[in-house]
Structure 1
């Protein structure tokens, strides 16, 4: 099993008190679209290497989130623990901070309520190609090309940092998160396929820009579930899973949010691959084993638990059963490419899903590829529809 390296302590301070914040005019951000960049973009990794890295990040991210859930609120601003390696995040947002503007990349994180970056004076900071932020300069510009400036934004400073990123843009449900401070009521994203070329980009959308296109015929919505013990995360009610034509006999308790705040299911921008509780994962794995008519292969080199050997002929048809997540009031019918990985070079096809090893299940971003996902904070619901994300 993958072991997360020891946690390093980050000591953020709140630069501005929340009580002193002046909410920015909603019109300044309503309709704003910002490009998202994948952490592995432009680094010339092979498909095999990309999958390895995604699997490692997924396990690291899950361990971090499960640790937070077990240790108390993820909303604390007194200290933030971040694993040193691998980087447990997936997408970056270009922003500028200070006067004159200092460009940097923050990690998009729906599992955090904090906004922070490395600041002066820094006792231990990661390398970056531009000056550290000076807290005496307060301007925060959202987006690397949009140049929409946020006045009086409350964010944190990291003075003792480890890792390979410049900071975090928290999009969680708490009052200190970036999306809460902007006050636009909703946000959305659309992740392109993980193996699309670098000329394409995923998108983050705020306010009206996040609204699903009325021409879509398959818009579905499911309510958020509140976990008072973990108010940051976007919990959902997952009622069951279908593989092929069979709805699996997963007990409702496998996905239930308990009164003490443990368990449950949430959707996350930073986890690569979906992770299910052991009882649910075993049933999903067994269903694919019985329904996929290919020899089982060893996929541990790529970091996956269940893999199959592809036919030697590239033209051979490979049938794969459907996968549907039955949410409250909505069915997330996943395209094949969102749960089955094929690496023709390695001759493998692998299930892009893991056992979480805990009471928590997480819907990862790989399963969200080419879906327009909208987090409606006003109506407290998640909406989604199929989309060609590189064309939004």
Structure 2
């Protein structure tokens, strides 16, 4: 009887999961996910050098930005695509494979592929972390040449010398290069909201066997966030609705707070005060986010921006610190700043910065707000934190340069919530005082619990069919057969299979514990002194993956209870029984 009650309880959960499997993915998984982006100069970054001074880090970021902009050029053909340089200012921790291997990738909004170094590495740059070995992953699979992903991939081609597997080649503008296998694999992102990994099976990745360039030994590859179909943002689109956003915290001013990347509901910037502009897709560079900047204003002066038909005239780049303007626009901006700023001019200690002023530490000074007027009527305010950078204790410099291509760099993006919607083809801006959450205070978006986060990993690898009778039979198996069953199900159905195996195992576990309690009583062993006792009516405490199932069922409070004691307490178990028993 106890066994039947347990089976019915978990069968009910499985029926719910079947329902979730078959409803619209975009609707079921339009949930929220928040992951931390690590600035390379943050103490959390492996690139961080504690011996460097604050102003050395500022100078290095500016020099990297100048180097990056020098290589922003177009040179592509059918197979090999030259895109933005392989450097970047932000990093993302994620894991790949089953069992998961942690990867640290450079975030690049100008790239549209997720790739990492892979074994065997024929010609790879030095990497501090172990290089991912796909042969050890149960969920890795190479892509055949006839696969739709291979046929439509911008960087993909058929490698007839390697068993007709799909291959890729990425060539960056600075001469860096990555090539290897175009593959499918499970990647997991770590939610900073509840520290819960969210798995995304069958993600297209590049498994790089030949990689060289300026990637840096601290990173394992690139995480593309561009518009192209195989960027991280695009591949999460069916599960998050095609929206993501970020708010970059000031890295070189005051207290450092984390910057977050939001997907799904939290990726939508819809609060009052937000302004949107059309996202312009460039046929020649389909990975890059272009918008139309019509003019900028300083004081009473409006400076018109040159237009080229309906094409975008400025790209948004998180990988460069400085912003770039066409020569005539920059000259006008510089002239207006000289007129408006009542500070003495001084020479720049950093080559490449033209306009600098001397300041006295502790004294206040006025920097005029720059208004950026985008197509569609939206205006974004660029405050002193966006337009100037402190390069020495007594010197501030304009964080803009002149260039052949206009770029909105990450200093200009600080304290602005920027949302990308590739469904509606819009980019949205919201000026905000950053509160550490990535949202303005009082406008924190949808509150998210683990029930929403975990829903991403509840969707199977596509069309999986399974029956409850398998689970009923499974509850009568031995522990060794239970393990075999788990492996088969996981291998066949990926993430959904792991959930099935977890639920099945949990369905059997309480009954086994109950039987042990009966046998103990027959032997005269009480629950108080039994090594099997959990002091909750003979039911086993639920740990590890099992907690995720309970988190899915009862939400955020249970997850917090788990985090506090790594177990669900008696009250929470009673709540589960009341709701689902």
Distance 1:177 1:391, change over 3 A: closer
The answer to whether the 8 A contact 1:264-1:361 is kept is: yes
- Distance in 1, Cα, partners of 2:426 & 2:68: 24
- Distance in 1, Cα, partners of 2:105 & 2:30: 18
Distance 1:336 1:229, change over 3 A: same
The answer to whether the 8 A contact 1:245-1:322 is kept is: no
In the alignment, which residue of structure 2 is the partner of 1:340? 388
Q: Tell me the SS of whatever aligns to 1:147.
A: strand
In the alignment, which residue of structure 2 is the partner of 1:379? 424
- Distance in 1, Cα, partners of 2:110 & 2:245: 15
Q: Specify every segment of 5 or more residues in structure 1 that has no aligned partner in the other structure, as ranges.
A: 1-23
The answer to whether the 8 A contact 1:273-1:352 is kept is: yes
Q: Tell me the SS of whatever aligns to 2:196.
A: coil
Aligned pairs, number? 348
Give the CA deviation at 1:203: 0.3
Q: CA RMSD in A?
A: 2.5
Q: 1:179 aligned to 2:233?
A: yes
Correspondence for 1:203 among 249, 260, 275: 260
The answer to whether the 8 A contact 1:154-1:176 is kept is: yes
Q: 1:167 aligned to 2:221?
A: yes
Give the CA deviation at 1:161: 2.3
In the alignment, which residue of structure 2 is the partner of 1:236? 291
In the alignment, which residue of structure 2 is the partner of 1:278? 327
Q: Specify every segment of 5 or more residues in structure 2 that has no aligned partner in the other structure, as ranges.
A: 1-23, 141-185, 439-581
The answer to whether the 8 A contact 2:386-2:412 is kept is: yes
Larger proportion of strand? 1
- Distance in 2, Cα, partners of 1:306 & 1:95: 40
Distance 1:128 1:198, change over 3 A: farther
Give the stretch that moved more between structures: 333-342 or 134-143.
134-143
Q: Tell me the SS of whatever aligns to 1:305.
A: coil
Output one character per residue of 1:89-147: Cα deviation in whole Å (capped at 9) or x when no partner: 01111111122211111111111111111111112323333321123432211237431
Larger proportion of helix? 2
Distance 1:80 1:118, change over 3 A: farther
Distance 1:77 1:111, change over 3 A: farther
The answer to whether the 8 A contact 2:243-2:419 is kept is: yes
Distance 1:126 1:389, change over 3 A: farther
The answer to whether the 8 A contact 1:221-1:382 is kept is: yes
Larger radius of gyration: 2
The answer to whether the 8 A contact 1:58-1:272 is kept is: yes
The answer to whether the 8 A contact 1:92-1:105 is kept is: yes
In the alignment, which residue of structure 2 is the partner of 1:222? 277
The answer to whether the 8 A contact 2:317-2:409 is kept is: yes
In the alignment, which residue of structure 2 is the partner of 1:391? 437
Give the stretch that moved more between structures: 221-230 or 363-372.
221-230
Relative contact order, CA 8 A, sep 6+: which one is greater?
Answer: 1
Give the CA deviation at 1:316: 3.3
In the alignment, which residue of structure 2 is the partner of 1:16? none
Q: 1:325 aligned to 2:372?
A: yes
Output one character per residue of 1:270-314: Cα deviation in whole Å (capped at 9) or x when no partner: 121111111211111121122222221111437522101114xx3
The answer to whether the 8 A contact 1:141-1:150 is kept is: yes
The answer to whether the 8 A contact 1:224-1:381 is kept is: yes
Distance 1:52 1:81, change over 3 A: same
In the alignment, which residue of structure 2 is the partner of 1:15? none
Give the CA deviation at 1:30: 2.7
- Distance in 1, Cα, partners of 2:366 & 2:196: 44
Output one character per residue of 1:126-181: Cα deviation in whole Å (capped at 9) or x when no partner: 33333211234322112374311111111112222232131111111111111111
In the alignment, which residue of structure 2 is the partner of 1:108? 107
Distance 1:157 1:374, change over 3 A: same
Output one character per residue of 1:312-331: Cα deviation in whole Å (capped at 9) or x when no partner: xx343312222111111211
User: Superposition pairs for residues 1-392 of structure 1, below 5 Å?
Assistant: 25-26=25-26, 27-28=28-29, 30-42=31-43, 43=48, 44=50, 45-64=52-71, 66-67=72-73, 69=74, 71-72=75-76, 78=80, 88-136=87-135, 137=137, 138=140, 139-143=186-190, 145-158=195-208, 159-162=210-213, 163-164=215-216, 165-183=219-237, 184=240, 185-195=242-252, 200-212=257-269, 214=271, 217-248=272-303, 250=304, 252-253=305-306, 256-257=307-308, 264-301=313-350, 303-311=352-360, 314-328=361-375, 329-343=377-391, 345=393, 347-356=394-403, 358=404, 360-387=405-432, 388-392=434-438
The answer to whether the 8 A contact 2:66-2:352 is kept is: no
